[in-house]
Chains A and B, each alone.
Chain A
Amino acid sequence: GAGVSQTPSNKVTEKGKYVELRCDPISGHTALYWYRQSLGQGPEFLIYFQGTGAADDSGLPNDRFFAVRPEGSVSTLKIQRTERGDSAVYLCASSRSGGATDTQYFGPGTRLTVL
């Protein structure tokens, strides 16, 4: 069975550019999460989707960050006007229904490097 997949696995971009990171959750999982992990740190929450809607976007650092999940499956995290401080591994996770004790299954991440 397929797990959570993320593309690309690595992305190098220049400061000021726009990037899109894609997450394909486990089939049938209604809850989807984005986290960001800086070197030597634990993941930090960005946004949580229940179906197509963003149920909690309190972790998005500023308005340069935006995420969508138009059909309740694949999600795209969009970063405008990238800055060097955006460099990190972006992790996506999905869970069956978004319950408080549902296991979150993580993808391998996208390593974003902003030069």
Chain B
Amino acid sequence: SQQGEEDPQALSIQEGENATMNCSYKTSINNLQWYRQNSGRGLVHLILIRSNEREKHSGRLRVTLDTSKKSSSLLITASRAADTASYFCATGITGRRALTFGSGTRLQVQP
């Protein structure tokens, strides 16, 4: 079963614009991770934020986590056509090593 819901399901923007994707989850977590997937195949790990962190940056990526609302957001600044992909949030819970993924946001960046 999917732990998280992502919003929006699909997003289309112009190159240079910012893209924001949101993730909500149901249970208490140890950490939340964001992954990117091109063409429905292998996933690439982007960033991990621990449950005691509120914000994290990596290059053009900014992730926030609000554990009281059980939600996270991924912001991609100054988007590029190469950012076109599906983005998934995944949660880790204490005592389990399996990740539970959301249903993903399909991002299209128009050149």
Contacts and interface: CB of A to CB of B under 8 A. Distances in A.
A51 interface: no
Given A41-B103, A48-B97, A109 B41 contact: yes
A45 B99 CA distance: 7
A65 B41 CA distance: 21
B50 interface: yes
B98 A43 contact: no
Given A101-B92, A103-B48, A55 B42 contact: no
Given A100-B30, A100-B92, A101-B48, A108 B101 contact: no
A90 to B, nearest CB: 11
A3 to B, nearest CB: 8
Given A100-B31, A101-B50, A109 B98 contact: no
Contact of B45 (A39, A89, A103): A103
Contact of A106 (B1, B42, B100, B103): B42
Interface in A47-101: 48, 50, 55-56, 58-59, 89, 91, 93, 95, 98, 100-101
Interface in B92-108: 92, 94, 96-104
Given A42-B102, A100-B31, A55 B45 contact: no
Interface string A31-51: 101010101111111001010
B99 A104 contact: yes
B104 A89 contact: no
28 contacts: A33-B97, A33-B99, A35-B101, A37-B40, A40-B103, A41-B103, A42-B4, A42-B104, A43-B43, A44-B1, A44-B2, A45-B98, A45-B100, A50-B97, A56-B96, A56-B97, A56-B98, A58-B98, A89-B41, A91-B42, A100-B94, A101-B92, A103-B45, A106-B42, A106-B43, A106-B44, A109-B41, A109-B42
